[in-house]
A = this chain, B = another copy of it.
Amino acid sequence: MATPLDADFALELDRADALARFREEFVIGDADAIYLDGNSLGRLPRRCVDRMRDVVERQWGGRLIRAWADDWFDAPRRIGAKIARLLGATADEVIVADSTSVNLFKLVIAALKARPGRSRVVTDDLNFPSDLYVLRGALELAGDRALKVVRSEDGVNAPLAAMADEIDERTALVTLSHTAFKSGYVHDLAAMTALAHRSGALMLWDLSHSVGAMPLALDEAGVDLAVGCTYKYLNGGPGAPAFLYVRRGLQESLPNPVRGWFGQRGPFDFALEYDPAPGIARFLTGTPPTLSLAAIEPAVDLLLEAGLDRLRQKSVRQTEYLIGLWEALLRPRGFSLNSPRDPVRRGSHVSFGHRDGWRIDQALIGDMRVLPDFRHPDNIRFGVAPVYTSFAEIHEAVTRLVRVMDERRYEKYPMGRAAVT
């Protein structure tokens, strides 16, 4: 019997893994490279290769304008309805549109209009920085609202109590990243939403680093608004358009501040006066980028086949396994664990800190063909995508990282900041 530190142990885990066959569904171009950045850009599903050839060559090339009626007009709603199943939402609460930033902007402005007498918006410093930029910009436009950014204890965890102290009857909106991009901390979605509602505030979640890696229950928790990204664990392709969720009961009362023609009741009536579409469609804006949109659908279908409960179970076992290897092999070599120990509060990526983190990351990529990513100032993120990451890859990645340290391979790389990955 192999011990937990042996490569054979990882192979046994893979053999026992009911989801292992899904790896075959993805293009694995370079079998020796270890890709642990699916939390940043998910792999290409094989069935997406055929879909994209069909969309470009048959639909655009052959059907031309007729493809709008065949397939394209319905795509934002049809794919949104599939994503709704990943969110614990109903089909008519989710639609695919624009980028996460633009969707966040639209929903923040809409939320502020819906809570006119209230002077504050509350978030925390684990939120994705871009969300804070968008928020401040939206608040400047909407006027007379202050942004409170609650400080996390340690950059890793965000206790509910600190948020509870700041949410009161002055609060129009609470908005957070459900899983923190750096530490992987996962907020208690139901408890935080209840906290916001207790003060009469609206709750808006950014689900970018959660969706596809764990089940979510937006309807059950009574979440008001959400946005999220489709190119991470959803494997929808680089910069694929984002989704947005608006609770059914709120849809008719929230205005979309960016009134593009796809959110109009009859876009081809060409009436001079704007009349918003019924339901979730009013949150569409301009013409959707159809090629990028089409790539999302086969990827979401795959996740629905694998099942989120099983994916989450595997993700937790994989991050636990990784943390076990850290404890035995990386902690003694100066790495800190910058992610929560409690798996309930941890997403599907694990961050390790090291004062030489940047150089180590470069050596992993350059010498060892391991692709994690790096987050300023010292975090190396190992993303587990349970639909295609194997236990053997996790073991091999740590083994190669140990070689980088023991052979001091990172010393030949310049100190410096992350530029790209």
Q: Check if B291 sits within 8 Å of A98, measured CB to CB.
A: no
Q: Which residues from chain B contact A67 at a C-beta distance below 8 Å?
A: 238
Q: When the two chains form their complex, are residues B49 and A420 in contact, meaning their CB atoms are under 8 A apart?
A: no
CA distance A229 to B287 in the complex (A): 10
Other-chain contact of A260, B72, B133, B420 (Cβ < 8 Å): B133
Chain A residues 316 to 355 lying within 8 A of chain B, measured CB to CB, are none
In chain A between 256 and 302, which residues have their CB closer than 8 angstroms to a CB of chain B?
Answer: 256-262, 264, 267-272, 274, 285-293, 295
- Is A69 an interface residue when CB atoms closer than 8 A count as contact? yes
Question: Given the known A-B contacts A239-B293, A291-B295, are A102 and B60 also in contact in the complex, defined by CB atoms under 8 Å?
Answer: no
Q: How many residues of A contact B (CB 8 A)?
A: 93
Q: Of B288, B291, B419, B421, which is within 8 A of A65 by CB? A: B421
Residue numbers in B under 8 Å from A149 (CB-CB): 272
Question: Are the CB atoms of B99 and A137 closer together than 8 Å?
Answer: no
B133–A261 touching, CB < 8 Å: yes
Chain B residues near A181 (CB, 8 Å)? 270
Within the assembled complex, what's the spacing in Å between the Cα atoms of A295 and B52? Answer: 12
Least CB distance from A294 to B in Å reads: 8
Chain B residue at smallest Cβ distance from A274:
B133
Q: Identify the closest chain B residue to A270 (Cβ).
A: B129
Interface contact B43-A99, CB-CB below 8 Å:
no
Q: Are B56 and A99 in contact (CB under 8 A)?
A: no
Chain B residue nearest to A235 (CB atoms) is B60
In the complex, A37 has a CB within 8 A of chain B: yes
* Of B64, B99, B269, the contact of A417 (CB 8 Å cutoff): B269
| Cβ-closest chain B residue relative to A51 | B56
- Bound-state Cα–Cα, A240 to B290, Å: 7
A98 to B97, CA, bound (A): 10
Check if A41 is an interface residue, CB within 8 A of chain B.
yes
A48, A73, A286, most chain B CB atoms within 10 A: A286
Question: Are B48 and A64 in contact (CB-based, < 8 A)?
Answer: no
Q: List 27 A-B contacts (CB under 8 A).
A: A29-B61, A37-B65, A43-B64, A44-B57, A49-B61, A52-B56, A53-B53, A69-B419, A98-B98, A98-B286, A100-B286, A102-B285, A129-B261, A129-B271, A130-B260, A132-B272, A133-B261, A136-B274, A138-B257, A239-B290, A240-B291, A241-B289, A268-B419, A268-B421, A269-B376, A291-B295, A292-B292
